[in-house]
């Protein structure tokens, strides 16, 4: 299928590498087109921490991710709807994807109980009791006006017994059907989440079950939860070939720059992760040759930018020595400048991959990517 062009629904494949599954595509949404492969900065509470919407646009962000769980608890989806929807509320005019809230329920709530109906939990903010159902997850996301909505799923930890993984995966299938039935706004795209734990047969079976339902794209969930890296890639390779090229494929919560390069190589289109923004606030900055920890004493008199090949605002104006000073002084500007750089790095990495696919040299790009990291000089 090298160089093929397919068109159906919201996604079209533009080009596919002859020697790799890496591909270019365009995902059409209510708030514009998204060129894939794409990385989505995470805006948990209607903000990508430390950055304004204009700074995200300057960095090249095409789409950002909002968090259903957090926005439901505070300030509330009904209030956001009254304020004109999430785009207007946060001043962002491009597409927004929102997760279902399932992961946050499982990871943040001290009390949670899974039933056929949904998930009962107590808020991590004030301990108040809530019940999140597949129907409510859709109601929240439609009120927010999300361009891409996610079905509620059950999050499977690692390790997990196969019987438990199978039970949770079957429940996710039933919730996906209910999500489709609850959907009222057809103009908003809806993706289910493939589960199955780290069991290839469960992953394969679940992917095929979800493909029988009329969704707009498919997400691979339950990955990067502590499993060995080789097992992570194996699970991607189990599901990815089963999904027709007319659908966008989203690996959730991933990941490192290496993860992005490898998953693009395997044919994945969409990614999100808190890593660039969270690591920025912790003083870890990404470069072409690896990462640097800006607090280290070796940078105290270093007049170089974070990355001499980077064109972001931070690298154009400030030295490592100054950024170290800001970080050690706990100045707010440190978090802002560090985040500008890391988000810029991630988005430019995706842009370079799209360019490499376009000219038919993705494998060359991939080889050079690792060569630069092997000879790190940062």
79-117: pLDDT as tens digits: 999 999 999 999 999 999 999 988 888 787 678 899 999
Strand 129-132 relative to strand 119-122, pairing:
antiparallel
Q: Which residues pair with 8 in a beta bridge?
A: 11
**Distance from C-alpha of 184 to C-alpha of 138, rounded to nearest angstrom:** 9
**Distance from C-alpha of 293 to C-alpha of 282, rounded to nearest angstrom:** 9
Q: Give 332-360 pLDDT, tens digit per residue.
A: 999 999 999 999 999 999 999 999 999 99
**Distance from C-alpha of 368 to C-alpha of 257, rounded to nearest angstrom:** 13
Residue 174 backbone phi and psi in degrees, to 5: -65, -40
**How many C-beta atoms lie closer than 10 Å to residue 115's C-beta?**
10
Give the pTM.
Answer: 0.96
**Distance from C-alpha of 120 to C-alpha of 129, rounded to nearest angstrom:** 7
Q: Which residues pair with 193 in a beta bridge?
A: 219
- Yes or no: say if 334 and 314 are a contact pair by the CB < 8 Å rule: no
The rounded percent of the chain whose pLDDT value lies above 90 is 93
Look up 216 and say whether it is catalytic: no
Question: What are 6's two structure tokens?
Answer: 């397919």
Q: Give 158-210 pLDDT, tens digit per residue.
A: 999 999 999 999 999 999 999 999 999 999 999 999 999 999 999 999 999 99
The alpha carbon of 160 is separated from its chain's Cα centroid by a whole number of angstroms, namely 24
Q: Kindly tell me the burial class for residue 311, based on how many C-beta atoms sit within 10 Å of its own C-beta (0-12, 13-18, 19 or more).
A: exposed
Q: Which of 99, 147, 269, 307 is catalytic?
A: 99
| H/E segment holding residue 251 | strand 249-251
**Distance from C-alpha of 204 to C-alpha of 64, rounded to nearest angstrom:** 29
Q: Is the pLDDT of residue 272 over 50?
A: yes
Please tell me which residue, 217 or 107, carries the higher pLDDT value.
217
- Yes or no: say if 15 and 1 are a contact pair by the CB < 8 Å rule: no
**Distance from C-alpha of 236 to C-alpha of 291, rounded to nearest angstrom:** 26
**Distance from C-alpha of 193 to C-alpha of 353, rounded to nearest angstrom:** 25
Q: Is the pLDDT of residue 4 over 50?
A: no
**Distance from C-alpha of 136 to C-alpha of 351, rounded to nearest angstrom:** 36
Question: What are 285's two structure tokens?
Answer: 């900055």
**Distance from C-alpha of 84 to C-alpha of 8, rounded to nearest angstrom:** 31
**Distance from C-alpha of 190 to C-alpha of 16, rounded to nearest angstrom:** 24
Residue 234 backbone phi and psi in degrees, to 5: -60, -40
Q: Which of 147, 216, 259, 272 is catalytic?
A: 272
Question: What are 96's two structure tokens?
Answer: 């927004």
Which structural domains are found in the chain, ordered by start? 38-273 (3.20.20.105), 275-378 (no CATH)
Name, in order, each residue with C-beta under 8 angstroms of 115's C-beta and a sequence gap of 6 or more.
none
Q: Is the pLDDT of residue 5 over 70?
A: no
Look up 302 and say whether it is catalytic: no
For the chain, the straight-line distance linking the first and the last C-alpha, in angstroms and rounded, comes to 40
Please tell me which residue, 325 or 104, carries the higher pLDDT value.
325
Closest of 234, 253, 341 to residue 292, by C-alpha = 341
Q: What's the pLDDT score for residue 164? A: 97
- Yes or no: say if 41 and 336 are a contact pair by the CB < 8 Å rule: no
Tokens 């100054």 found at: 322
Q: What's the pLDDT score for residue 9? A: 84
Mean pLDDT of 7-30: 92
Rg for the chain, CA atoms, rounded:
21
Give the alpha-carbon dihedral of 195, 13, 260, 90, to 10 degrees: -80
Q: What's the pLDDT score for residue 6? A: 46
Closest of 242, 354, 260 to residue 14, by C-alpha = 354
Name, in order, each residue with C-beta under 8 angstroms of 90's C-beta and a sequence gap of 6 or more.
43, 46, 47, 53
């Amino acid at each position: 299928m090298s160089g093929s062009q397919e068109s159906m629904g919201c996604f079209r494949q533009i080009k596919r590498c002859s020697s790799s599954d890496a591909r270019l595509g365009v995902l059409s949404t209510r708030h514009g087109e998204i060129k894939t492969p794409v990385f989505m900065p995470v805006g948990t509470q209607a903000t990508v921490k430390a950055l304004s919407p204009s700074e995200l646009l300057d960095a090249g962000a095409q789409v950002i991710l909002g968090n259903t769980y957090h926005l439901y608890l505070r300030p509330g989806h009904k209030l956001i709807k009254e304020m004109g929807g999430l785009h207007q509320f946060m001043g962002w005019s491009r597409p927004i994807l929102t997760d279902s809230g399932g992961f946050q329920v499982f990871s943040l709530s001290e009390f949670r109980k899974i039933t056929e109906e949904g998930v009962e939990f107590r808020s991590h903010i004030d301990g108040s009791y809530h019940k999140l159902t597949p129907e409510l997850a859709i109601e929240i996301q439609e009120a927010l006006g999300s361009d891409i909505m996610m079905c509620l799923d059950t999050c499977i930890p690692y390790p997990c017994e196969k019987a438990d993984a199978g039970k949770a995966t079957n429940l996710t299938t039933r919730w996906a059907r209910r999500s489709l039935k609850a959907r009222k706004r057809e103009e908003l795209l809806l993706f289910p989440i493939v589960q199955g734990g780290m069991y290839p047969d469960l992953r394969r079976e679940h992917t095929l079950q979800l493909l029988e339902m009329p969704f707009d794209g498919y997400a691979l969930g339950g990955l990067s939860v502590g499993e060995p890296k080789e097992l992570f890639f194996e699970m991607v390779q189990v599901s990815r070939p089963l999904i027709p090229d007319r659908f966008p494929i989203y690996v959730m919560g991933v990941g490192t720059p290496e993860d992005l390069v490898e998953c693009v190589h395997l044919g994945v289109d969409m990614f999100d992760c808190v890593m660039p923004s969270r690591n920025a606030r912790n003083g870890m900055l990404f470069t072409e040759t690896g990462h640097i920890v800006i607090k280290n004493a070796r940078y105290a008199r270093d007049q170089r930018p974070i990355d001499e090949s980077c064109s972001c605002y931070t690298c154009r104006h400030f030295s490592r020595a100054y950024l170290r000073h800001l970080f050690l002084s706990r100045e707010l500007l440190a978090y802002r400048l560090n985040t500008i750089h890391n988000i810029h790095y991630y988005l430019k990495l995706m842009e370079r991959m799209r360019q490499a696919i376009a000219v038919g040299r993705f494998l060359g790009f991939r080889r050079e990517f690792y060569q630069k990291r092997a000879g790190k000089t940062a």
